[in-house]
Chain A
Amino acid sequence: MKVSIYRYNPDTDREPTMKEYDVDTQGKDLMVLDVLNLVKEMDPSLGFRRSCREGVCGSDGMNINGKNGLACITSLSSVAPGVKEGKKALVLRPLPGLPVVRDLVVDMTMFYNQYEKVQPYLQNSTPAPAIERLQSPEERAKLDGLYECILCACCSTSCPSFWWNPDKFLGPAALLQGYRFLADSRDTATEERLARLDDPFSLFRCHGIMNCVSVCPKGLNPTRAIGHIRSMLLERGI
């Protein structure tokens, strides 16, 4: 099958190019990461990140035939009709909107900076008990759909608001984590957390177009979390 991959090595290349490879998949419905590994055997100079190869570490987010996703859990048959059969090329590019370091590797600094801005750690001003802090199953259920984020950046790099203001708009991934702590019954910093989000950019640049939801490889819904924060901010304002 034909594979077309974005190549750029700052040491040697003046500009990026798309390089074509012919890969023998033996007709199997491989994962995109398997295909990348086959290419790397032919051409070890190809750079991409990978670790767990099962969709939990978030290393191999990339743009696959126009849509962001994780290479390790995206099968060829799910990319686009004809790709698996070799009638259509598999086209791999780095996640959009972040600076490219090399080939499919992007500089995630801006993404991580926004994550850090939501103070993504539990804050509780009361003394810790000798055992765990009690939390009912119902309270705990509020964290489902939030804590599972793997920081792959597929969502934030598919968001036009993040492309425009990656330094000021926190982006869907960071906001999802922001809400994860707002929703945690063990966290007592709600007021401070909300105050930090109450400006025209941090949260309110989200226009609800839901690109984040459509690409999230873990099936999470950042738009809904952003909606919840919005409501909390509105209630706080009254």
Chain B
Amino acid sequence: MSIRTITFDAIVVGGGGAGMRASLQMAQSGFKTALISKVFPTRSHTVSAQGGITCAIASADPNDDWRWHMYDTVKGSDYIGDQDAIEYMCSVGPEAVFELDHMGLPFSRTEEGRIYQRPFGGQSKNFGEGGQAARTCAAADRTGHALLHTLYQQNLKNGTQVYSEWYAAELVKDGQGNVCGVIAICIETGETVFFKAKATVFATGGSGRIYASTTNALINTGDGVGMALRAGLPVQDIEMWQFHPTGIAGAGVLVTEGCRGEGGYLINKDGERFMERYAPNAKDLASRDVVARSMMMEILDGRGAGPDGDHVFLKLDHLGEEVLHSRLPGICELAITFAHTDPVKEPIPVVPTCHYMMGGIPTNVHGQAIKLSAGHEGQDQFVNGLFAVGEVACVSVHGANRLGGNSLLDLVVFGRAAGLFIEDALRQGMTQYEPSNDDIDQALSRVRRWDESQGGESVASLRKELQSTMQNHFGVFRKGDLMHEGVSKLAELRERVAKAHLEDKSQSFNTARVEALELDNLLEVAEATAIAAEGRRESRGAHARYDFPDRDDENWLCHSIYDPLTKQLGKRAVNFEPKTVDTFQPKARTY
């Protein structure tokens, strides 16, 4: 089968913050760059980020120090974040944030005219000794929207070639496993094209849609992780899923941690501010994993609110109408629309909701994708031609638990870093790996499978079943036997998905085809999550097990590596060697 080939120096798959920061970098330096996005870029999920971008720009506190931010991030990660990567993110961060201001991002301001910073969870001054810090740079509670639009505008200015509403379906590799580009489908016309490039950058975002209840957009289906796993590449720490404490009960819509940063707090059905019991110092601004678990304990102990006792409340009314309308205007809108609650008058019903994938494709600080020499074990090796940035990557700055506001910093810092690295590599001459016709044909096989399907179960019903399996077997609290059952259910689902039916074979804007291809990715991410979660026999960060309730530094102070070919779980060392500061040694994690 021969298809059209379009050749670029670099292609970026995904038009969210990370992808657009990377494409901007390369377009600015004149390299032929394509941005391939399944939605018009400003519809990407970065747009939903609310509270801000955490960075030591020393506006709220002139003495703030990126090393304090680094300490918080290492502690937040429950010590499996790579310290060289965290050091890079926190130290380069200010430069990357000031660039965003120069690009026009409409940050909120202080009286001095500087960028406004608010307190967020897990933040401290002076390495945990100096009390709560205010380090999250905000554009009201619409920081992601402001960031994403600013980056799109800069890509327009710099002439990035945007393939909007093109769906990347598969990686194309040569016989040696070097990455040559991707197969992508033009959603509007149905045409399938091979995008060939020296550098392929995955910036495909997260995969929250593997859960039934999530803050994530409907498009967050793990396309990058799915493509990597099908290409036989490993993923790292994929069992680590963040449940955000404050999703609106029922709707799943996110309510920013910035609400608690501005002084809001959680109460149970008796009106008690229960976080005082679980985290006496940081209270409602403890790390997200800690707050989410505390909320679930309240609910499981019968102190949840509502007819089913299945949620708690976020109280904001004491902040006053003026603060709420100036600092949290978007939240007021969302609460009224989705909870029929005006936060000026009454508390918002909230529940921990799947929010963020800490794991992903392992990379170094330049975004270069890493695999191990023998599947789930052995030495690090680069996957030639492949890069990953943002939520799909596991660089790893978040480890077992991400701090609020660090995702936006992650995506601008590492989108930029990958862009800078590729720019330099292209200048020095990068190899264009050439696939054979058979290689391309193999990459097309999945698309063809759906197009030739003749009968079988529907995509929607299988997707629902997958989502409820993940919700019921791999939630906030996990248990060995329940997870084991979940793994079996997913294995069975895999067989059924392989025989599922795409009824609509038309070419023009066929969203049924896109949803079918997305289902394959959801399944890949779900199964990897399930096997990794069952395999990590300890509790750390977001991964909390009833049967192994303690952190086990002797055996599990390491990354997990899932190899899709053998379905084995291996281990990979965490980096404890930052370049300019002393190592932060693991210690008991309390807030």
Contact = CB atoms under 8 A, between A and B. Distances in A.
Interface of A: 9-12, 40-41, 44-45, 47-59, 73, 75, 101-103, 105, 108, 112, 116, 119-122, 124, 128, 130-137, 139-140, 143, 147-148, 150-151, 181, 184, 186-187
Interface string B89-104: 0000000011001111
A41 B463 CA distance: 11
A123 B44 CA distance: 25
B145 A55 contact: no
Contact of A56 (B48, B108, B111, B115): B48
B107 A132 contact: yes
B45 interface: yes
B40 to A, nearest CB: 7
B346 interface: no
B106 A184 contact: yes
Contacts of B115: 132
Nearest to A57: B43
Given A116-B156, A136-B113, A148-B142, A45 B503 contact: yes
Given A45-B503, A121-B104, A147 B149 contact: yes
Nearest to B146: A147
A139 B112 CA distance: 12
A24 B134 CA distance: 48
B9 interface: no
Given A54-B48, A132-B98, A186-B104, A137 B109 contact: yes
Which residue, B110, B460, B508, B510, has most C-beta atoms of chain A within 10 A? B508
Interface of B: 39-40, 42-45, 47-48, 57, 97-98, 101-104, 106-115, 139, 142, 145-146, 149, 153-154, 156-157, 188, 217-219, 253-254, 330, 333-334, 337-338, 458-461, 503-504, 506-512, 515
Contacts, number: 149
B217 A51 contact: yes
B506 A55 contact: no
A134 B156 CA distance: 25
Given A11-B507, A40-B460, A45-B503, A52 B112 contact: no
Contacts of B48: 52, 54, 56-57
B409 to A, nearest CB: 15
A57 B508 contact: no
B42 A58 contact: yes
Contacts of B512: 44-45
16 contacts: A41-B461, A52-B43, A55-B334, A56-B145, A73-B337, A102-B508, A105-B509, A116-B156, A122-B104, A128-B98, A132-B97, A132-B101, A132-B107, A133-B102, A140-B106, A150-B47
Nearest to B516: A44
The 5 closest A-B pairs by CB, nearest first: A122-B104, A134-B113, A132-B101, A121-B153, A44-B512
Given A55-B333, A101-B509, A131-B98, 4 more contacts: A47-B511, A49-B39, A131-B57, A137-B111
Given A44-B512, A45-B512, A133-B101, A151 B42 contact: yes
A9 B334 contact: no
B504 A140 contact: no
Nearest to A130: B98
Contacts of B330: 56
A140 B113 CA distance: 9
Contacts of A148: 142, 145
Nearest to A124: B102
A184 B511 CA distance: 39
Given A132-B107, A132-B114, A147-B106, A53 B218 contact: yes
B39 A53 contact: no
B51 to A, nearest CB: 14
A58 B113 contact: no
Contact of A57 (B47, B108, B188): B47
A27 to B, nearest CB: 16
Contacts of B153: 120-122
B104 A184 contact: yes
Nearest to A54: B253
A154 B167 CA distance: 25
Contacts of A120: 153, 156
A9 B337 contact: no
A9 B506 contact: yes
Contact of B218 (A51, A75, A132, A187): A51
Contacts of B253: 53-54
A49 to B, nearest CB: 7
A139 B139 CA distance: 14
A51 B165 CA distance: 12
B502 to A, nearest CB: 8
A11 B506 contact: yes
A50 B40 contact: no
B252 to A, nearest CB: 9
Given A130-B98, A131-B57, A47 B43 contact: no
Nearest to B155: A121
A234 B44 CA distance: 39
Contacts of A187: 104
A51 B509 contact: no
Contact of B40 (A47, A48, A108, A130): A108
Given A44-B460, A50-B218, A57-B47, A101 B508 contact: yes
Contacts of A73: 337
Nearest to A116: B156
A68 to B, nearest CB: 17
B460 A135 contact: no
Contacts of A133: 101-102
B232 to A, nearest CB: 30
